[in-house]
Structure 1
């Protein structure tokens, strides 16, 4: 969703210090990344790694930007410089901000799109480059990512356009900013391509007063997903994007994403900003299950659990990953919203549970302990396999296991004391260890698969066979 700063509001960045117990962690072996399928291994019992299989637990996405990244056309090169390190850490895909030229040109974060085919090569809207760089720099970044077996997802803004010229609008009887004459020479738009028009008065939503693109118009459909030189196929087949993050999908019907995915292909996740898991599931179904959705229900339940000191919510709360793990993209924060203060517990949760976990750039590069995040990424890719069983929950403690092979048991402790608990695992007569290094115990499970595990104050442990 577009940030309020586009509407000339200020964003206040709130930073916090997050504390958890730490000690040495196991050396993290090199792991190969997914070439096409980020969910490969999410609920299977596959072992081994390859380009098609990024470890048995599946891939991890990096949101490769935050709101108001430095202007000046340097961001693509900044991300490119980090690709090798992210590759080594186990990142399998990166999500970029909108790449096309927007109304605010060199100052825009891209959520006010004007010319979908100007990726930083035409002098319009105040600059040649976008805020993030030139088309050549974008292509170099994508090429570098692909050489490291990292997928690249484009942020696609289809609901609205901005930066058109004023014209007489016969459908409103007023003058509207709906005359788009792009420098790229592609996808000219006029009043008939927006709402209202001769065929359709409105769709599901208007954002920020911007001209609302009418996806029901055949001309618009052609330029977005049907034409071989249209937006979707140009981004995928020429520029090299592997998938899509669809912005503000509440603003149009799920059929739009369905048609894009049928005609263009690639991974797909929608920003349906709602904490109701049923609504998220309904939206996924409205795309004929061609798209995943960000699990806002999980996001808000984690905030209630970790910041509200009530881990029972993790057991009782409804989340998309519990309903439809293969279509849930989990996250701890993003460029639009950052409400969870106890972030390390939240990352431990999403990296050990089902779904496709996302790491936020600022969390990884600036705010949190990178070594601990790398450790969780490795655990996710190598241990987090199979369905999930919740073993215990109260205000302070939460224990769950993944039932695949190798599988894991995660123990979250939100209290100020060391805690211990007997749990039933999937392993008989097996030595297990805590792969976070937060506990040095190496207990042996009983023949009946029970074992006692422990967790330090305000921390987490993650257990799997040694």
Structure 2
């Protein structure tokens, strides 16, 4: 069995030149060398404009095929390029994962008039007005598509709320009134701001049977048209959890029983994360936000952070089979709404913690591998990640033993398996130079170990009893292995 690794194959500030699908196709040999088994692609659907990153979704049936919102292609390219990339990834044994944005729709084609309540943005349960009429862009007819693939039109009653009143030219959070309207049930939605059903744009009403049936129709079309292997679900804490569980169950029962799914439940709270998993019947994985925030805090605090507690509260620790671990992503990178960028000095340690351990599915961020340019520039970590992914492919196997016994220096070992017999010892320090006395097993006795990452120049000889003392430089990470195993 080979260790799985995923890459998030985009970052927020990519050039809006329509060439990203083709660039990813050109990088396919690199992705194979990295041992990637899954690639999370950005939203492929027509957005508000040619430079929409993908989260201002306009038309789920337009993958860069129709002239809508001033463009045929999306930011990333054409439908033809997207389908070619998906097929190439599958041929290479890498599962393509689509970023699915169901929470809202943007850039309606026509205005409609209906009654609303203006709600307190800090407590969406609290109305600030009596019922009154507004006009909003809630009718979606997709004139550029002319009913191709699906002729469903959206109207105001398919949404729970909007954020712009065109009649009075005012912004706010407006709860749409009508039969069976209102926010999602409080027990099935995040409770931040009183009720966090509403996030942005025109918010879908998942209580409406026409909405539910239409999304099921769309899922059948999309999965058949693209043959995509998995879904990444955007903003699930804003979507009725009962709908989400039923929707995925429907797909696996009626369309693709093997669909891999993970969701973005952005909550730095271990208890609420676990509660959400239970609400959806553990039918899909979640990104490990608690672990990411631990990394963020560790980078900020330096030696004042208790490194032995770095996994505390994480999904990686509590529910590893449903944990997608990551260091940074498009939301946490600098300049974004959820900015919580892990400090550059700590990123090598953080990536070692997700790539050189056996729990969770680690996800490499495109911006960390290739770097980020522009106003929020960041260096690339390509050389480091090349080495860590090599180790993950060949050395992160067998019994894993933790030495999390010091607040500034921790270690763990992977003792190897029959198929991958070479052991690995990983050490991290967030303070001064440190060391750990660890057991590599008697089958490694007398062997000479080196730091494959090149941070420590020393060589370490394993004792006859299998024990050895390994060093690590200050604020650094080392990954020790039998130097002869690199030849053999």
TM-score, normalized by length of structure 1?
Answer: 0.80
Alpha carbons 2:308, 2:406 under 8 Å: kept: no
Alpha carbons 1:161, 1:211 under 8 Å: kept: yes
TM superposition shift of 1:313: 4.0
TM superposition shift of 1:140: 1.1
Number of positions where the alignment pairs a residue of Structure 1 with one of Structure 2: 404
With 256-265 and 383-392 compared, the bigger mean Cα shift is at 383-392
1:33-112 map, 5 Å: 53=1, 55=2, 58-102=3-47, 104-112=48-56
Say yes or no: does 1:348 pair with 2:368.
no
Q: Which residue of 2 aligns with 1:296?
A: 289
Pick closer, same or farther for the CA change 1:443–1:311 going to 2, 3 Å: farther
Alpha carbons 1:167, 1:179 under 8 Å: kept: yes
Pick closer, same or farther for the CA change 1:171–1:91 going to 2, 3 Å: same
TM superposition shift of 1:61: 1.1
Q: Please list the CA deviations of residues 286-314 of structure 1 after superposition, one character each: whole Å capped at 9, or x if unmatched.
A: 22111111111101112222442245244
More contact order relative to length (CA 8 Å, sep ≥ 6) = 1
TM superposition shift of 1:445: 4.5
Q: Which residue of 1 aligns with 2:323?
A: 328
Alpha carbons 2:409, 2:435 under 8 Å: kept: no
Give the Cα–Cα distance (whole angstroms) in 2 for the partners of residues 209 and 96 of structure 1: 22
Say yes or no: does 1:126 pair with 2:144.
no
Give the Cα–Cα distance (whole angstroms) in 2 for the partners of residues 306 and 416 of structure 1: 15
Q: Which residue of 1 aligns with 2:155?
A: 190
Give the Cα–Cα distance (whole angstroms) in 2 for the partners of residues 427 and 92 of structure 1: 33
TM-score, normalized by length of structure 2?
Answer: 0.77
Give the Cα–Cα distance (whole angstroms) in 2 for the partners of residues 313 and 290 of structure 1: 32
TM superposition shift of 1:84: 1.5
Alpha carbons 2:9, 2:40 under 8 Å: kept: yes
SS at match of 1:212: strand
Query: Hey, which of these two has a bigger chunk of strand by percent?
Result: 2
TM superposition shift of 1:281: 1.8
Q: Which has the higher Rg, Structure 1 or Structure 2?
A: 2
Structure 1 unaligned segments of length 5 or more: list them.
Answer: 1-52
1:29-428 map, 5 Å: 53=1, 55=2, 58-102=3-47, 104-164=48-108, 165-169=110-114, 173-182=133-142, 183-184=144-145, 185=147, 186=150, 187-195=152-160, 196=176, 197-203=178-184, 204=189, 205-225=196-216, 230-265=217-252, 266-308=259-301, 309-310=303-304, 312-315=306-309, 317-338=312-333, 339-341=341-343, 342-353=346-357, 354-366=359-371, 367-385=379-397, 388-402=400-414, 405=417, 406=421, 408-417=424-433, 419-426=434-441
Give the Cα–Cα distance (whole angstroms) in 2 for the partners of residues 379 and 429 of structure 1: 18
Q: Which residue of 1 aligns with 2:469?
A: 452
Alpha carbons 1:304, 1:310 under 8 Å: kept: no
TM superposition shift of 1:253: 2.4
Alpha carbons 2:44, 2:98 under 8 Å: kept: yes
Pick closer, same or farther for the CA change 1:114–1:385 going to 2, 3 Å: same
Alpha carbons 2:99, 2:234 under 8 Å: kept: yes
Give the Cα–Cα distance (whole angstroms) in 1 for the partners of residues 283 and 298 of structure 2: 31
Pick closer, same or farther for the CA change 1:208–1:280 going to 2, 3 Å: closer
Give the Cα–Cα distance (whole angstroms) in 1 for the partners of residues 85 and 354 of structure 2: 28
Give the Cα–Cα distance (whole angstroms) in 2 for the partners of residues 256 and 313 of structure 1: 39
Pick closer, same or farther for the CA change 1:404–1:281 going to 2, 3 Å: farther
SS at match of 2:404: strand
TM superposition shift of 1:402: 4.2
